[in-house]
Structure 1
Amino acid sequence: MIKGRRIMLVLFILCLLLTGCDDNTTLEAMENIAGALHSSEVISYEITREAAGEKADLLTNTYNTNSVQYALIDHGRIVISGQSGRNDEQGQRPLTKDTLYGIGSTSKMFTTVAVMQLADQGKIELDTPVIEYVPGFKMKDERYKQITPRMLLNHSSGLMGSSFTDVFLFEDSDTYAHDILLKQLSGQTLKADPGTYSVYCNDGFTLAELMVEQISGLGFTSYIQRYITEPLHMGNTKTPLDYPDTAKMAGLYYSEYTGQLPNETVNVIGTGGIYSTAEDLVRFSTIFTGGKEKVLAGKSAAATAQDEYKTPLWPDDADNSIDYGLGWDSVNLYPFSEYGMKALTKGGDTTLYHSSLVVLPEQDMAAAVVSSGGSSTYDQLLANEILLQALKEKGAIAEFKPEKSYGAPVKADMPESVLQYSGIYGASNATMDINISEGGVMSVTTEQMPDTPAQIFEYSADGTFRSTDGNTMISFVSEDNGRTYLWNRQYILVPGLGQTALSLYNAEKLQPQNLPAETKEAWIKREGTYYLLNQKYTSLMYLVSPSIPLNVSERLPGYMLDKRITGPDTAVSELQIPGANGRDLYDLTFFTQDGVEYLKMGGFILVSEDVLKPFNFAKQSTVTIPSSGYARWYTISDKDGGKIIKVSMPANASFAVYDEKGKCLYFSVIGGKEEVVLPLGGAIVFAGDAGTEFGISAH
């Protein structure tokens, strides 16, 4: 039987060659056939196909996912491909295997492959300082000279996090964030000595993107086309600089805004800006399953899967979804570790797109899931389920492993010494209050969300605290760096989609400090809401998060959020948390310009709500963007609430209207209305290039 199938496949190859199919079609068919020949038997995967469809429908019907696309590859052959959900609002463009999705940070694996290719060619040495390859790279902190390409790829560079000014834009491929990165970094310090520990860092991959461009002499888009997507026949993988046909993009929606949105561009391509399909992503996965040595040497592909996260500052081994390799989020993904299988994963989340790629290198299999709405966690769970079902259907595993738990707490007397762990703990831009009673009950509340009920954990005989359902286990760890961490281990069950696991240092204990009365008073006066000023008129920020609240910690004197106040106008973020909760740190600096006080927060400039004034909406009025280019914010007074306005403006401008709770009611980049009703107690913002003039009529 097997011999007969081989003869038929060889005859099919000859038929393809003789009938004059185009090169890509022939090559793709031959690759699929080669994958089939590699297996002792071609499996139909009917059970897996049905299960994948049902779970994809569950995502789109239950888990706030607009649409999802998925694919499974086995020994180079795409054996399952499907999609679920809604696409365009009018229902004129059905979802297909060729519908494009933003893959967010899964793009980082393309950057990783590019760096490793250049290493294969001897043009990069992973442990040579980056300054040897990017001469323009400089920082205020002299330790930057120690940063190596390896540290960029395994998140241990010590860079603060994300320089994301004008990154997330609507249908705008502006390269500003890429172009200005070196300037942004030149004014920054490091959060830790390079190589000390791994904490997720976007800027490291944008810097790696610049390094690839510097060494190759090609723009990153051109590089990945020539050396990755074309050799792998990934015809549906694009970047914003390819200007893809928006009619081929998955429809985007936002839960708090009515109607379909324009396409989202993420303009740090090597960090999170690539578009692709599930089928193209599983083609990409063949680099790591030993099938594409011409694209990347096998030893280099294998090197990406090493335990790069294992530095002294990392929690002890536990089931987890975050264990960094080079580029990979995890090189030991749960639940595949339960089956004795090595599993690699990379996920991505932009504002509106999400993705996950899960690769089983030893099984020569991979699954990819991309979605509009939802989350990369949901996508990863779907990919996991597809792979597990396929492994069972082909006989590689006998049964599915049962769900795991740490077990309910075992009643025991708590030592008095444990009380010392009560206090305020900081994570990225957040603080939490840990209160431990003498009776062994621990409550956890978040200062920034005071209305959220406290999480309760009970002391257990093994010295940990556990949730009553046994799915969460917490302990405290004092590390050699003199810092104390809250270690959270958790099994998370998503009904119908399976279970994932996390093991992270969630937060670091912070110590209160006394401030001079004048400094304390200055910061208290600044409490309130702050509005973004320096985002481009096409920015998604005007839709989803145009303002942020800032409040001095009540329980932790001397802090604003996780940032230690260092003077009347400055506060610094000093967290050193490996993994994910110490990412994207930034300092706060207040400065005065032309009599107005502004807040600098990372690359963002903001202004207090106290500066905003009501706009007098007369029958005819104008607004002009100042020479600074800062957006113009106004409140809507009682006398203007309910008025209808019409705004005329040039193409390089936008305006948005918000209700009294800050929800965006209208954003002109999305459009759909000629006239807009002003909400009582709301706000309005005008954004554009310096000197842009808006004409406003009201009635």
Structure 2
Amino acid sequence: MRDNRFFTINKALLLGCLGLMCTAAFAGLKVSAKELNDEYVYCVGSVSKVYSTAAVMQLVDEGKVSLDAPVTDYIPNFKMADSRYKDITVRMLMNHTSGIQGTTYVGPFLYGKENAFHDEVVFDTLAKQRLRCNPGEYSAYCNDGFDLLGVIVENVTGMSFGDYVARYLAAPTGGTSTSTGDKASLIENLAPAFSADGVRFENDVIMSIGAGGVYATASDTANFGAAFFRNADELLSEKAKSDMETLWQNTDDFKDRNGLGWDSVNDREYENTEVKVLGKGGDVDRNHAYLLVAPEEEISVAVLTNGGNSTLNQLVAEAILDACLEEEGLKLKEEGTSDFDISLDIPSSYDKYEGDYVINSGLGWDSVRISFPDHEYVHVENIGPLRSGGTDYGYTKDGSFVKLAYEVADSGINDIKPASNPEVLRFEEGTDGKVYIKIERKENLPEVGVSEISTYCGEKMEPNPISGELMAFWSGVCASEYMLSKDAYNSQTFDFPIVRLIVSEDVPGYLYCVTGMGTRILKIVDEENAVAFTTIPSSRNRDLLDIKAEANEGGVTLYCSNGWEFISDESIPTFDDGVGEVNLKANEAVWFNIGETRVNTDVIVASRPEDSVVYVYNKYGEPVYSSHIIGVKNSLPMPKDGKVMFIGGSEGKVILN
């Protein structure tokens, strides 16, 4: 076993995040050992994808799996509503090029207790889903692909994925605390879960096991990372490790730079110093992780936190790596600052790029209108439902556009200058004639570091004229709000279960689907279907969503391609003084609109089944009460224009006073 050095940071001193707990571990051959006792165990989130990939690569080493064989060779019951699924290979699952839309969001992220509901629905969900592109066409992040890798491990070995990880990945690298979400209730010393304002919740239980359900200490994770050092033979052959750290493509710096399982296999910052660095981040509700490995230098750093996010963890891991490299006499090359020569004469050849675009900033989708006023600068006007204003960019001699410090309308054309650490925008025409937007930017995170981004992030929207009758139909659908109706009873999705649809006023034929996980922009097809239409060749095109609206006696039900199912507001009853008990069905939400007679009162829950949950939401759809809060009382607040929801894991009854 390699010597180890560990760092533990408690409270918020390092990252400035309220209530943050952070554990970092370092594994390397050339440092002295210092033991860290009683480490917390965290869910490592999507760092689990490196575990899943390593597990399958072991089977490749043993000749039991072929990387370029169809997935259906190992999962005969895997089917999709798109015949191209038969062309998806094992390798495509590992490098996110399968074309699968993204994530089955029914039951993967839970509170408190294990629940197999996700496993029960994922194959049914995929069987109704189309692909977003041809398999192998481009890489866009896909959780479902890694859950399928976990199934391959189970089908080939006859073991549960969790048992395989413990025996063949954790044990050989000295991991004594590594487990998986299906055994979460058995994990000792699990890091307690707190919200940003210090409220303690039941712990994250992640049932999307292959994609994000591995649990470990920072030292276990760092020692697992050390198995990717050169000449390390605990887990994989040199050929398998080389395959994992090879870029899926190396012709376009704006496309994803992932290998097999790893998010990054050629970090530009370290590449300039000729240091090979592998990286993988992971985020679930309250647990966040980053694993950073320098195979040649034999350095592995894992940073796990409760609070913050994986980008912050990455910057902490890089700071530790930089210090270790400096001890070895390796110092990163300083990048020079960029000087932008702004011209006020944009060539007329750029006129074809004027129009409406869909943009994914990384925080959700929005629509913008791009114009070139007097051919002097670019104006990007937000035309989405939030109407957040505009941004201007100056034209540079290399054909790119640099974000300006001020809008020209405010500062005047003669006073333009680049913003500090400006974003750089470029237009790109695809071989299919579609127009994409590429961006480069650096995000300064005070006291932590700088995060660099280069990616495709937008696509020009094509006209989609629809009839007045079709517009009227969808306007009627959009008149209601929609509540999540079916999911695992302890699903974290009930933290943000309300969806609103908004017909675009500026771009006919499109609508916005506003969820608690961000906004999606959909193309109206007919009186039932509105679908994702983007082909952006990067992970900004992840987690696409198609919806089908089906009218019924009570209102409208929305069926979503990721497994979500929503019922319209008019179909739910009123929660008034006459409601004294609520009958529960397994994993089906029972919703009420809070009646006037209940407003500003407290309703007491006299009894409810152990496998049940209660939420209360205000008029904005924000939870003001959740029975997932540790120590919460059984008194329910009743806000005006709010809603209350009850759900159980089995049939039962909630008694109210």
TM-score in terms of structure 1 length:
0.85
Q: Which amino acid aligns with 1:422?
A: E
The offset of 1:577, in angstroms, is: 1.7
1:458 lines up with 2:397 in the alignment:
no
Of 601, 623, 630, which aligns to 2:588? 630
Quote the Cα distance in structure 2 between the aligned partners of 1:363 and 1:510.
47
1:441 lines up with 2:377 in the alignment:
yes
On the 8 A contact 1:359/1:365 being kept in 2, the answer is: yes
Quote the Cα distance in structure 2 between the aligned partners of 1:449 and 1:591.
24
Of 431, 455, 460, which aligns to 2:366? 431
Quote the Cα distance in structure 1 between the aligned partners of 2:281 and 2:137.
24
Of 529, 533, 543, which aligns to 2:481? 529
The secondary structure found in structure 2 opposite 1:331 is coil
The offset of 1:534, in angstroms, is: 0.8
Instruction: Say which one has the larger Rg.
Output: 1
Give the 5 Å matches for 1:277-288: 277-288=217-228
Quote the Cα distance in structure 2 between the aligned partners of 1:553 and 1:484.
21
Per the alignment, residue 85 of structure 1 pairs with: none
On the 8 A contact 2:44/2:304 being kept in 1, the answer is: yes
On the 8 A contact 1:654/1:668 being kept in 2, the answer is: yes
The secondary structure found in structure 1 opposite 2:141 is coil
Per the alignment, residue 674 of structure 1 pairs with: 634
1:504 lines up with 2:464 in the alignment:
no
Give the 5 Å matches for 1:286-325: 286-310=226-250, 316-317=252-253, 322-325=256-259
Q: Which amino acid aligns with 2:638?
A: L
Quote the Cα distance in structure 2 between the aligned partners of 1:448 and 1:608.
23
Quote the Cα distance in structure 2 between the aligned partners of 1:145 and 1:616.
53
The offset of 1:411, in angstroms, is: 2.8
Per the alignment, residue 49 of structure 2 pairs with: 108
Name the CA shift for 1:147/1:487 in 2 (closer, same or farther; >3 Å).
same
Percent of residue pairs identical: 30
Per the alignment, residue 372 of structure 1 pairs with: 306
The secondary structure found in structure 1 opposite 2:525 is strand
Q: Which amino acid aligns with 2:266?
A: N
Of 276, 289, 300, which aligns to 2:216? 276
Name the CA shift for 1:156/1:638 in 2 (closer, same or farther; >3 Å).
same
On the 8 A contact 1:71/1:81 being kept in 2, the answer is: no
Name the CA shift for 1:207/1:412 in 2 (closer, same or farther; >3 Å).
same
Q: Which amino acid aligns with 1:252?
A: A
The secondary structure found in structure 2 opposite 1:230 is helix
Give the 5 Å matches for 1:59-78: 59-60=14-15, 62-64=16-18, 66-75=20-29
Q: Which amino acid aligns with 1:308?
A: W
Quote the Cα distance in structure 2 between the aligned partners of 1:393 and 1:215.
44
Per the alignment, residue 41 of structure 1 pairs with: none
1:579 lines up with 2:542 in the alignment:
no
Quote the Cα distance in structure 2 between the aligned partners of 1:220 and 1:77.
33
1:326 lines up with 2:260 in the alignment:
yes
Q: Which amino acid aligns with 1:350?
A: V
Per the alignment, residue 291 of structure 2 pairs with: 357
Deviations 1:650-680 (A, max 9, x none): 1222111112222211111325103222112
Per the alignment, residue 91 of structure 1 pairs with: none
Q: Which amino acid aligns with 1:237?
A: T
Give the 5 Å matches for 1:107-256: 107-245=48-186, 248-255=189-196
The offset of 1:424, in angstroms, is: 2.4
Name the CA shift for 1:478/1:369 in 2 (closer, same or farther; >3 Å).
same
The offset of 1:572, in angstroms, is: 1.5
Of 336, 354, 362, which aligns to 1:422? 354
Of 558, 571, 577, which aligns to 1:617? 577
Aligned residues: 626
The offset of 1:598, in angstroms, is: 0.5
On the 8 A contact 1:97/1:278 being kept in 2, the answer is: no
Per the alignment, residue 695 of structure 1 pairs with: 655
The secondary structure found in structure 2 opposite 1:496 is coil
Of 471, 477, 481, which aligns to 2:432? 481
On the 8 A contact 1:405/1:471 being kept in 2, the answer is: no
Quote the Cα distance in structure 2 between the aligned partners of 1:507 and 1:381.
26
Deviations 1:583-632 (A, max 9, x none): 011211012345432001120111223434431134x61222368x5312
Name the CA shift for 1:432/1:79 in 2 (closer, same or farther; >3 Å).
farther
Quote the Cα distance in structure 2 between the aligned partners of 1:296 and 1:330.
19
Per the alignment, residue 540 of structure 1 pairs with: 492
The offset of 1:560, in angstroms, is: 1.7
Name the CA shift for 1:539/1:626 in 2 (closer, same or farther; >3 Å).
closer
The offset of 1:438, in angstroms, is: 2.4
Name the CA shift for 1:552/1:358 in 2 (closer, same or farther; >3 Å).
same
Q: Which amino acid aligns with 1:126?
A: L
The offset of 1:225, in angstroms, is: 1.2
1:684 lines up with 2:644 in the alignment:
yes
The offset of 1:338, in angstroms, is: 2.9
Quote the Cα distance in structure 1 between the aligned partners of 2:31 and 2:156.
34
Deviations 1:303-330 (A, max 9, x none): 100011447xxxx336x9x511001101
1:646 lines up with 2:576 in the alignment:
no
Quote the Cα distance in structure 2 between the aligned partners of 1:395 and 1:652.
57
Quote the Cα distance in structure 1 between the aligned partners of 2:99 and 2:228.
27
Name the CA shift for 1:233/1:477 in 2 (closer, same or farther; >3 Å).
same
The offset of 1:123, in angstroms, is: 0.7
Q: Which amino acid aligns with 1:302?
A: S
Name the CA shift for 1:640/1:54 in 2 (closer, same or farther; >3 Å).
closer
* Worse-matched range after superposition: 577-586 or 463-472: 463-472
Name the CA shift for 1:422/1:317 in 2 (closer, same or farther; >3 Å).
same
The offset of 1:371, in angstroms, is: 0.6
Per the alignment, residue 506 of structure 2 pairs with: 555
Name the CA shift for 1:106/1:542 in 2 (closer, same or farther; >3 Å).
same
On the 8 A contact 1:73/1:79 being kept in 2, the answer is: no
On the 8 A contact 2:227/2:233 being kept in 1, the answer is: yes
On the 8 A contact 1:199/1:579 being kept in 2, the answer is: yes
Unmatched 5+ residue regions in structure 2? 404-417, 513-520
* Worse-matched range after superposition: 632-641 or 513-522: 632-641
User: CA-atom RMSD, angstroms?
Assistant: 2.5
1:267 lines up with 2:207 in the alignment:
yes
Quote the Cα distance in structure 2 between the aligned partners of 1:449 and 1:167.
29
Name the CA shift for 1:100/1:447 in 2 (closer, same or farther; >3 Å).
farther
On the 8 A contact 1:409/1:465 being kept in 2, the answer is: no
Deviations 1:310-355 (A, max 9, x none): 47xxxx336x9x5110011011124212322111100001111110
Q: Which amino acid aligns with 1:564?
A: K
The offset of 1:406, in angstroms, is: 4.0
* Worse-matched range after superposition: 109-118 or 285-294: 285-294
On the 8 A contact 2:8/2:22 being kept in 1, the answer is: no
The secondary structure found in structure 2 opposite 1:657 is strand
TM-score in terms of structure 2 length:
0.90
Quote the Cα distance in structure 2 between the aligned partners of 1:78 and 1:233.
17
Q: Which amino acid aligns with 1:194?
A: P
On the 8 A contact 2:287/2:307 being kept in 1, the answer is: yes
Deviations 1:479-507 (A, max 9, x none): 11322111011122212222221111001
The offset of 1:279, in angstroms, is: 1.0
The secondary structure found in structure 2 opposite 1:574 is coil
Quote the Cα distance in structure 2 between the aligned partners of 1:457 and 1:435.
10
Deviations 1:190-230 (A, max 9, x none): 11111111111111111111111111111101111111111
Name the CA shift for 1:507/1:235 in 2 (closer, same or farther; >3 Å).
same
Quote the Cα distance in structure 2 between the aligned partners of 1:272 and 1:253.
19
Of 271, 275, 279, which aligns to 1:345? 279
1:520 lines up with 2:520 in the alignment:
no
